[in-house]
Amino acid sequence: MVSQGLKGLLRSNFVSVGIVNDGRELVTTLQRARPDVLLLDVSMPHINGLELLPQVREALPALKVIIVTMHVDRALADLAISAGAHGFIPKEASADELNAAIEHVLSETKPFISPHIPRRSFRDKAAVQHPELDRLTPRHRQILRMIGDGKSSQEMAELLGVSPRTIEFHRASIRKALGITTEWGLLRFAIMMRVAESDEPDDENGEDIPPDPEEPVDE
């Protein structure tokens, strides 16, 4: 309903060349339709919009990407822009704002960020003070920081020298430990924790973090 609603709002000024409901089909559809602008949701089935951004930017470098999401976190907006998005607006934005965002990214080099998004990133202390954080292993914390940096499971697997299956095992373990039921919930938590711990050193190369005892053995 949301995608059809957006299509209706855009009908007077733009031509919709396709709607994709499954992130796994996005790049293939884009390569076939060759649009000028992509309105991309963060919360998509199977793979979230932030994980798709690098794939989209690599496949179609000239494509303008606007994140359209129900989440108005400034940290999420900053992460999306740093990952290659050209705009960021909430789903409750007016038709005028949506059209203005599209016109802006087509004609300007500076990203468009909705005025409804807070001007400054906030440090969500609830993330770093979560009572279940002590249940996470060093490997879990390392992966959680990478998720907060917007890295995909494939990128994390390459950095840590493990398989994507092992990364998915850890993501599920982290969600269970923190009582988080969705991948979006995990992503948001990771972003907030990363913002709150932005002054801490990274452990992304995996050299100083030993594998967990229960980590699957890749064949």
Give bridge partners of residue 37 from the DSSP assignment.
Answer: 64
Flag the least confident range among 9-13, 125-129, 182-186: 125-129
Residue 214, pLDDT > 50, answer yes
Residue 123, pLDDT > 60, answer: no
pLDDT score at 37:
97
Q: For domain 125-196, give the fold.
A: Arc Repressor Mutant, subunit A (1.10.10)
pLDDT over 70 percentage in the chain:
84
* CATH code of domain 2-113: 3.40.50.2300
Predicted confidence band at 150 (pLDDT cuts at 50, 70, 90)?
confident
Give pLDDT tens digits for 87-100. 999 988 888 999 99
- Specify which residues 113 forms β-bridges with: 88
The domain segmentation of the chain, as residue ranges, is 2-113, 125-196
Long-range contacts at 46-50 (CB < 8 A, ≥ 24 apart) = 46/22, 47/23, 48/23, 48/183, 48/184, 48/187, 49/23, 49/80, 50/79, 50/80, 50/83, 50/150, 50/187
Q: How far apart are CA 68 and CA 128, in angstroms?
A: 27
pLDDT at 71 over 80: no
